[in-house]
Amino acid sequence: MRINGKTVLYGIIGNPVSHSLSPAMHNGALAASGINGVYLPFPAPDIEAAVVGIRGLGIQGASVTIPHKENVMSLLDEVDSVAIRIGAVNTITRKGDKLIGMNTDWLGATRALEEERDLHGAEVVLLGAGGSARAIGFGLLERGANLVLCSRTESRGRSLADELGCSWVSLTEAETLSGNILINATSVGMQPDFEKTPVPRAILSRFQVVMDIVYAPLKTRLLQEAETAGCKIINGLEMLLYQGAAQFELWTGETAPVNVMRKALAEALGT
């Protein structure tokens, strides 16, 4: 990689961002594609100042992560219809003098799942009611899946289910769940609480595919137990990979080198 006066800047804004795997993934993609660009982590406790910085420095594209995916929306020139429906932006793209907000999280989840099976008509149980669940739920419904939302907090879960137009079940009734696909969109099982799992082991044999958005550890207890039960499993790196591939294509107009990006993520995670 040669840094010079023509190097294009990309980056990720959030607080914190020091743990992010996105720089490894995107810099690998830029280098493999022969693009004179660099992707940097930008710690951003103040989202308004961060957006001013993106404008002033001519940054061509930025990923947006916690805690700014929602409150960044009002600071942009435009937000596309999909991001508006999801209620969150994870991608900023510069078009001329304008900053456009988009969301690729849903694309990441659906593309990872579609590597294993067609989503149209699939019976999907989605665990969680936060921002990730909102984006994934939107994507599933866009692909024609039949969705059941399952969460611990009734008020939040029912509210999201009403917005999505799907049914809701309390996580306390997890033993009744069944379907084609089970997705964990909560942080349960993330380090250091890697011994935890969101649902009882006994129900996993009722699903063909189990996906966990957690990627530290790469194979959560949920995925270990699902694999033992005979399920196909999808780890959290796959969603991160495919949402990043969609970002890369929006920013550069080039086809994302997915295999290079997957390898870069694995190396950054030390796997």
What pairing do the DSSP bridges indicate for beta strands 232-234 and 98-102? unpaired
Q: Is 69 a catalytic residue?
A: yes
Query: Quick one: DSSP state of residue 147?
Result: E
Catalytic residue among 6, 69, 98, 219: 69
- Asked whether the beta carbons of 45 and 15 are under 8 A apart, the reply is yes
Helix (H) or strand (E) holding 113: helix 105-114
- Locus of tokens 């406790």: 45
- Asked whether the beta carbons of 225 and 103 are under 8 A apart, the reply is no
Identity of the residue numbered 228: T
- Asked whether the beta carbons of 258 and 244 are under 8 A apart, the reply is no
| Positions marked catalytic | 69
